[in-house]
Amino acid sequence: MNVFDEIWAWFANPENWSGYASIPVRLVEHLGYSALAIVCAFVIAFPLGAILGHLHRGGAVVLTIANLIRALPTLGLLTLMVILAGIGLLPPMVALVVLAIPPILVNTYEGIRFVNAGVVDAAKGVGLRGPSILFRVELPVALPIIMLGIRLAAIQVVASATIAAYVGLGGLGRFIFDGLGRQDFAQMAGGSVIAAVLAIATEVVFILIAVLATSPGVLGRERLRFSSLTRKKVAS
Amino acid sequence: MFDFAWVWRNLPKIWDLLMQHVVLSYVPVVVGLIIALPVGVACVRWRWCYPIALAASSAFFAIPSLALFVLILPYTGLTPATAIIPLTLYTASLLLRNIVDGIKSTDDSVRQAAAAMGYRPMRRLIGIELPIATPLVLGGLRVAAVANISMVSVASVIGVASLGDLFIDGTQRFFATPIIVGIVLTAVLALVTDLVLVFVQRVLTPWGQIRRVK
């Protein structure tokens, strides 16, 4: 049987769609781990990046720490945590949170740090102070860059959550590792296909969130509408 | 906790795995660059290519490495190619944006000056636009190299040897030493590679230093 037929047969098998180890269950597990890891990483990295960016301090430290963390292999961190803390939710969570921190931290810091100085000056000029400048000016302006960081983190987490199954957890990686153990290629490939589709879907969803969350002024839509208005006036 | 005797006894094996790791992570960086350069140049020349190439490469980049390793396994078997092909494609998709942005960052006055000096498009690309793009391309190369070095270890799970073998060995015997050795060597390899690329950037773009002094 051809490789594609094998994978197709695996997807078509109704046994894989019901029960405690079925595709929907694994998918929900996978999304659960990923969401938890992204929320944890966000809670750690976002305030830190926002405050340091607002104060224009610690840029070199942020970048160095982020690069050091990026150099750590996820699989190594995961297996080391299993030996230190035992099998459970903690090891994959630590590995995934560590993976998600650098993009969120760096993009939040750089997004806020490099908001146009003229815009910040104007905010001071109209009487805004520290926290209001951060929340009402810098964050909205930096939002596209921050959302890009969150998106990169989310993609990496959703992709790497497959490895959580190596230390006995659920998620889509379960199909890959169970298939590997049983020499069942169809199962491995089927799990891989779902993981790939999920990763691309995650990317699309986060792009949509970013577009919806960003202020129209920052996106440039408002300017377009405005310029078309003025052009009409001139024409009339 | 940390068994130095184990490290000493297994030094040759660890060295072999390190070398294997270097090959599996460096080859994709070089080949990825060779693939991404013409694609990037084509995307600048024919603008309609760029959104398509960008969407394809970012979708591709999202796919988990483990999934790709598994999906090409039937074609490549347990050879280094199983790890090298997906990592090459990751590197190329990561570099594409940097190459296009880099070439586009050439100032129009510079382009016009080149035209006035009699540069034809091909010579202008090689002599002017690519050197100007170098810092951005090397920035992308640094990210890709570090990402590859960290991702290669996943290939060990499906049986392609790398430093990741140490993680698997350590997990199977519930023994922390190989895992710590693997993490430290991977991180050191990533940092050394990054430093080398920073050095390469300084050599290739000496004008970058002048700007920094200002």
Q: What is the pLDDT of residues A60-101, one digit of tens each?
A: 888 888 888 888 888 999 999 999 888 888 999 999 999 999
The reply to whether B161 touches chain A by the CB within 8 Å rule is: no
Q: Do B62 and A188 touch (CB under 8 A)?
A: no
Per residue in A136-183, pLDDT tens? 888 888 898 999 999 989 998 998 899 888 888 888 888 988 888 888
Q: Do A73 and B167 touch (CB under 8 A)?
A: yes
Closest CA to A94 of A146, A169, A174, A175: A169
Distance from chain centroid for Cα A235: 47
ipTM: 0.83
Contact present, A95 and A81 (Cβ < 8 Å) = yes
Residues on chain B touching A163 (C-beta within 8 angstroms): 66, 154, 157
Whether B213 has a pLDDT exceeding 80, the answer reads: no
Determine the residue of chain A that is closest to B156 in CA distance.
A75
Whether A42 has a pLDDT exceeding 90, the answer reads: yes
Residues on chain A touching B166 (C-beta within 8 angstroms): 76
Structure token pair of residue B158 = 């499906």
Nearest CA distance, B129 vs chain A (angstrom): 26
Nearest CA distance, B91 vs chain A (angstrom): 15
Dihedral sign, CA of A116, A122, A123, A128? positive
Contact present, A164 and A78 (Cβ < 8 Å) = yes
Higher-pLDDT residue of B2 and A140 is A140
Q: How far apart are CA B133 and CA B111, in angstroms?
A: 13
Determine the residue of chain A that is closest to B60 in CA distance.
A200
The reply to whether B164 touches chain A by the CB within 8 Å rule is: yes
Least confident of A97-101, B2-6, B168-172: B2-6
Contact present, B65 and B144 (Cβ < 8 Å) = no
Segment 1-30 of chain A within 8 Å of chain B by CB? 3
**What pLDDT was estimated at residue B209?**
65
Tell me the CA end-to-end span of chain A in Å, nearest whole number.
70
Q: How many CA atoms lie within 13 A of B31 on its CB side?
A: 15
Structure token pair of residue B156 = 């060990």
What is the pTM for the complete model shown?
A: 0.84
**What is the average per-residue pLDDT within B106-134?**
87
Residues on chain A touching B180 (C-beta within 8 angstroms): 80
Tell me the CA end-to-end span of chain B in Å, nearest whole number.
50
Mutation test of the interface with chain B: which of A3, A75, A148, A158, choosing the one with the most B Cβ atoms within 10 A? A75
Q: Write the single-letter amino acid at B184.
A: V
